[in-house]
């Protein structure tokens, strides 16, 4: 149960009320500044289609092409569409979903295969806006007469997609192919489809992919009666035929992780244009959580598109009646009484979420959520603790009720610890117990952490990365545990047990120094006998066995929880600064084994992958804030654009965008949890942030220009923001400017004065 004095000890009550959001900036709709195609080129892997913020549905085209750049089912280079799926990933490095594909047909011959379903299209005939997607099928050129082709329009609600399909004038065939076989890089296990009357179909799809045993149930309603059906015995391909008409066919598709009956209950039945308008309004409302102005429209487009991509996930994964499918694949019934979310929550009544890309998002997307989505945080904490009860550990990479165990570390721990320290977790003791239990398991190298204090290189691949990620999670659990011990009235034996666990993790999280090889000046993999891996052929630019999507250059800095200790390990602040300088000027050459995720290179700094995201802010903590500003400005200007190739790496379910949002506002949380934001180099002229409880926090920059991007001073509510004191500062050194979460969420004004 919640310890009585805890919340008063951490300065913020979990009680939040809905902000008053207009979703407007200067009276203009914010959705006009969103271009969902940003990130659809290069390796951005973003979803393109129709959805609402944090909705279950991501409905849109699935292209014929497959491969790494088609993780979402769509890439700007794609030329053919096999149909329109109701679920798609956004920005991931692995492929899946694309479930329940529908494809209209006006009489063109097709065969029962992925290639046989495919039809050409052109970007010239596409329209993409938040909550709406439209395309002409059947031509790879700009259409001279749109009435010759099938037009597919799609919009969405939280658990419902709605299609408006206009067949060519005079078409003798109006049919719809329901394809339950083809999707995005998964394998069908079982499928079912049956008609209910002549205007509805229900069914299910069970598949094996990244989500190894995914269950998806659906209900489809048609605006015209079905005249004839061809349904195969295995239900892989079905054809539903309608009386030809010049009036559009409306197809409404609702999904459920639980049952066809729940899918039907989830269905929103309203006119297409109203759903489209409602979707636009939902996006405007959520985008309006930050009303920002910039020096130019390019920056505004990048910023609000980043806000859009940040709000695609986590996704709703329970039904309107509160039922959900757990991580143990069991169905949990809410008896028609879902746990109510606070009014104004962007996830409506949802209290079970999925698409939890936690290794990526604990770094920026999660802290950003605590600032601008306070109403959503209880649903996030509830989800994590439900998953813990269902699978006996906190989520690692949760996808559609399945634990993929993708990536390394215990990334849910810093997110849950951050939420606890900021006052969003009701049952704080249960949360700390979930964190510590997850860190004291014997799987995924954690047995080595208990035995040696690190993951042994001769036992596990990616050993160095695993170790450093576990250590920052250890530190996060320690901060949360100390808060619980300080503010609680635990039973003596319970307090003693927790205290011993916290002491153990506290020692473990600082033992990274044992992995530092002074011979080469980098962290290196260590074997179970205490020896380092062989130095033969060592090159810090090479990705080798001990590293996850990175190399020794990038992982040298993955100690965000103990920057002071890392500086001392490297030989003191002066040497640490020089080492950091060398990161950004090193040769950018990689070895052949390097994964494509290592991208967006400035020297060996890799902004296209998450382990680098905090590094530029380390300069400020080392007494060189101008160097932080210089690198941040370079990243903002060179590695984010408003073009399809506008992301230098995978969007990673909002993390790439969240980095940009926070950095444009002028600050970043370097430590994994706790709410100390390091100021960097803001891009906004002015930004008003809705922080919950009807309060706003306004950031105003003075003297900002393309050359004046360094911070001279900052005033918080009119009082000079003091720089973090440095031990024995030298000429040219200044402490970091720190903004605390507790001050930010109280509302107020931060005036930042810029200089060249």
679 CB-side CA count, 13 A: 30
d(CA 473, CA 465): 12
The answer on pLDDT for 751 being more than 80 is: yes
Q: What is residue 349's predicted lDDT score, i.e. its pLDDT?
A: 64
Range 714-734 average pLDDT: 91
- Lowest pLDDT segment from 296-310, 330-344, 454-468: 330-344
Enter the tokens of residue 626: 């101008």
Q: What are phi and psi of 274, to 5 degrees?
A: -70, -45
- Sequence-distant (≥ 6) Cβ neighbours of residue 397 within 8 angstroms: 356, 357, 358, 359, 403, 404, 405, 406, 407
Q: What is residue 727's predicted lDDT score, i.e. its pLDDT?
A: 82
Kind of pairing between the strands at 695-702 and 748-755:
parallel
pLDDT per position as a tens digit, 567-626: 999 999 999 999 999 999 999 999 998 999 999 999 999 999 999 999 999 999 999 999
Q: What is residue 1's predicted lDDT score, i.e. its pLDDT?
A: 31
d(CA 428, CA 419): 10
**pTM of structure:** 0.95
Q: Where are the domains of the chain?
A: 46-285, 289-755
Range 699-715 average pLDDT: 98
With a pLDDT cut of 70, the percent of the chain lying above it is 95
CATH of 289-755, one of 1.20.1050.10, 1.20.1610.10, 1.10.3720.10, 3.30.1330.40: 1.20.1610.10
Q: How confident is the model at residue 24 (pLDDT cuts 50, 70, 90)?
A: very low
Q: How confident is the model at residue 421 (pLDDT cuts 50, 70, 90)?
A: very high
Cβ neighbourhood burial of 158 (10 Å; 0-12, 13-18, 19+)? buried
With a pLDDT cut of 90, the percent of the chain lying above it is 91
Range 486-515 average pLDDT: 92
d(CA 212, CA 267): 27
pLDDT per position as a tens digit, 80-125: 999 999 999 999 999 999 999 999 999 998 999 999 999 999 999 9
The answer on pLDDT for 472 being more than 60 is: yes
Q: What is residue 92's predicted lDDT score, i.e. its pLDDT?
A: 97
Q: How confident is the model at residue 21 (pLDDT cuts 50, 70, 90)?
A: low
The answer on pLDDT for 720 being more than 60 is: yes
Q: What is the mean pLDDT of the chain?
A: 94
Handedness of CA 26, 28, 32, 34 (dihedral sign): positive
DSSP lists the bridge partners of residue 163 as 154, 251
User: Of 439, 435, 294, 289, which is closest to residue 368 (Cα–Cα)?
Assistant: 289
Q: How confident is the model at residue 335 (pLDDT cuts 50, 70, 90)?
A: confident
Q: What is residue 732's predicted lDDT score, i.e. its pLDDT?
A: 81
pLDDT per position as a tens digit, 650-667: 999 999 999 999 999 999
Q: What share of the chain is helix, strand, coil (3-state, %, to 5)?
A: 30, 25, 45
How far, in Å, are 115, 512, 547 from residue 544 at the CA level?
38, 19, 6
Helix extents (H) in 377-462: 377-391, 412-421, 428-439, 446-452
Q: How confident is the model at residue 5 (pLDDT cuts 50, 70, 90)?
A: very low
User: Of 147, 137, 152, 150, which is closest to residue 169 (Cα–Cα)?
Assistant: 147
User: Of 451, 442, 376, which is closest to residue 415 (Cα–Cα)?
Assistant: 376
Enter the tokens of residue 612: 């680098």
85 within 8 A of 73, measured Cβ to Cβ: yes
The answer on pLDDT for 347 being more than 90 is: no
640 CB-side CA count, 13 A: 26
The answer on pLDDT for 7 being more than 70 is: no
CATH of 46-285, one of 3.40.50.300, 4.10.520.10, 2.70.98.10, 2.50.20.20: 2.70.98.10
The answer on pLDDT for 400 being more than 80 is: yes
User: Of 326, 172, 191, 178, which is closest to residue 260 (Cα–Cα)?
Assistant: 191
How far, in Å, are 49, 147, 623, 699, 740 from residue 747 at the CA level?
36, 54, 28, 11, 12
Q: What is residue 27's predicted lDDT score, i.e. its pLDDT?
A: 61
Enter the tokens of residue 525: 């993999």
Helix extents (H) in 543-609: 552-555, 563-570, 573-585
Q: For 666-694, b where at least 16 C-beta lie within 10 A, e where not — what string?
A: bbbbbbbbbbbbbbbbbbbeebbbbbbbe
């Amino acid at each position: 149960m919640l310890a009585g004095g805890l919340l008063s000890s951490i300065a913020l009550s979990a009680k939040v009320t809905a902000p008053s959001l207009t979703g407007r900036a200067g009276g203009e709709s914010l959705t006009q500044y969103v271009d969902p195609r940003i990130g659809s080129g290069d390796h951005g892997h973003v979803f393109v289609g129709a959805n609402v913020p944090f909705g279950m549905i991501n409905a849109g085209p699935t292209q014929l092409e497959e491969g790494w750049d088609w993780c979402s089912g769509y890439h700007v280079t794609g030329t053919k569409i096999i149909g329109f799926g109701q679920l798609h990933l956004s920005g991931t490095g692995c492929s899946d979903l694309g479930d329940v594909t529908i494809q209209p047909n006006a009489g063109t011959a097709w065969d029962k295969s992925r290639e046989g379903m495919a039809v050409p299209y052109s970007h010239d005939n596409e329209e993409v806006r938040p909550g709406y997607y439209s395309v002409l099928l059947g031509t790879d050129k700009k259409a001279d007469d749109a009435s010759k082709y099938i037009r597919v329009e799609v919009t969405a609600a939280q658990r419902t997609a709605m299609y408006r399909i206009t067949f060519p004038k005079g078409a003798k065939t109006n049919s719809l192919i329901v394809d339950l076989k083809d999707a995005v890089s998964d394998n069908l296990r079982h499928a079912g489809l049956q008609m209910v009357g002549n205007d509805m179909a229900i069914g299910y799809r069970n598949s094996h992919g990244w989500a190894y045993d995914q269950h998806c149930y659906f209900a489809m309603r048609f605006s015209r009666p079905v005249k004839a059906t061809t349904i195969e015995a295995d239900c892989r391909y079905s054809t539903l035929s309608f009386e030809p008409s010049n009036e559009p066919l409306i197809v409404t598709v609702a999904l459920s992780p639980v049952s066809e009956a729940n899918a039907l209950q989830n269905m929103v039945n309203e006119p297409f244009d109203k759903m489209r308008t409602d979707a636009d309004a939902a996006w405007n409302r959520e985008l309006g959580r930050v009303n920002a102005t910039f020096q130019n429209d390019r920056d505004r487009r990048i910023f609000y598109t980043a806000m859009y991509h940040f709000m695609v996930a986590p996704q709703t994964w329970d039904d309107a009646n509160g039922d959900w499918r757990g991580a143990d694949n069991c169905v949990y019934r809410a008896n028609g009484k879902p746990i109510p979310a606070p009014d104004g929550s962007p996830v409506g009544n949802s209290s079970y979420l999925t698409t939890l890309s936690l290794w990526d998002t604990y770094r920026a997307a999660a802290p950003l959520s605590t600032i601008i989505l306070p109403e959503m945080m209880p649903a996030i904490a509830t989800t994590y603790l439900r998953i813990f009860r269902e699978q006996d550990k906190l989520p690692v990479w949760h996808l559609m009720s399945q634990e993929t165990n993708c990536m390394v570390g215990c990334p849910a721990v810093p997110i849950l610890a951050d939420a606890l320290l900021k006052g969003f977790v009701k049952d704080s003791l249960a949360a700390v117990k979930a964190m510590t239990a997850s860190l004291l398991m014997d799987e995924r190298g954690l047995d080595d952490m208990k035995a040696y204090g690190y993951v042994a290189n001769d036992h596990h691949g990616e050993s160095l990365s695993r170790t450093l990620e576990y250590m920052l999670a250890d530190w996060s659990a320690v901060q949360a545990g100390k808060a619980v011990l300080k503010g609680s009235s635990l039973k003596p034996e319970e307090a003693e047990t927790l205290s011993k666990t916290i002491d153990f993790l506290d020692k473990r999280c600082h033992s990274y120094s044992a992995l530092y090889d002074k011979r080469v000046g980098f962290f290196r993999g260590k074997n179970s006998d205490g020896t380092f891996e062989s130095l033969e052929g060592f090159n810090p630019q090479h990705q080798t066995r001990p590293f996850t999507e990175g190399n020794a250059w990038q992982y040298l800095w993955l100690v965000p929880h103990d920057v002071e200790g890392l500086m001392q390990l490297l030989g003191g602040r002066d040497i640490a600064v020089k080492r950091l300088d060398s990161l950004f000027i090193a040769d950018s050459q990689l070895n052949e084994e390097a994964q494509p995720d290592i991208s967006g290179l400035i020297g060996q700094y890799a902004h296209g992958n998450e382990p680098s995201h905090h590094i530029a802010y380390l300069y400020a903590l080392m007494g060189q804030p101008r160097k932080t500003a210089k690198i941040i400005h370079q990243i903002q200007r060179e590695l984010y654009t408003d073009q399809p190739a506008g992301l230098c790496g995978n969007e990673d379910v909002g993390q790439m965008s969240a980095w940009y949002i926070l950095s444009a506002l002028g600050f970043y949380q370097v430590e994994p949890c706790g709410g100390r934001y390091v100021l960097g180099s803001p891009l906004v002229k002015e930004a008003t942030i809705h922080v919950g409880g009807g309060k706003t926090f306004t950031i105003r920059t003075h003297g900002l220009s393309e050359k004046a991007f360094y911070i001279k001073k900052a005033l918080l509510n009119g009082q000079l923001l003091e720089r973090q004191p440095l031990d024995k500062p030298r000429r040219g050194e200044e402490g970091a400017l720190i903004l605390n979460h507790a001050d930010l969420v109280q509302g107020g004004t931060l005036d930042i004065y810029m200089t060249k």
